[in-house]
Amino acid sequence: MFRYLTLTALALLVFFILAVSTSAVPPKELPVYVSTNCQMEYTFVMLADGRPGYRVLGPEPDMYGARLGMLRFDVGDVIVRVGAYDALPGPNLDSLINLAEMEGVRTLEVFDARTGQTMVLPF
């Protein structure tokens, strides 16, 4: 009888330790990628409406974060479409820009998080 109580107590202790240790794990950070075309750091995100995009990162919010030709992006802007292609997970922004240039569809669809508007901009 004592053996079963010891095994039960040990099992409960192991379960408790596992439960506490897994709940204390901090959330995994999003990977940061670098675009040479836009001279910026970005990460892949999903917008609230389900659209994928590339969020422009920077040291401070509401400041100049990147540029592509004459276009300037603020920190927090999300590029949701390049040419005829939606954003793809991973470090694909430069590839999509190169594809858009080759196909002659040189536009970007950018979501401005401050105003909630989506703009189509030529580059």
Percent of the chain whose predicted confidence (pLDDT) is above 70: 75
Domains and CATH numbers, the chain: 33-122 (2.30.42)
Residue-wise pLDDT for 59-76, tens only, equals 666 567 778 888 888 888
pTM score, two decimals?
0.72
SS3 of 39-108: the string is CEEEEEEECCCCCEEEEEECCCCCCEEEEECCEEEECCCEEEEECCEECCCCCCHHHHHHHHHHHCCCEE
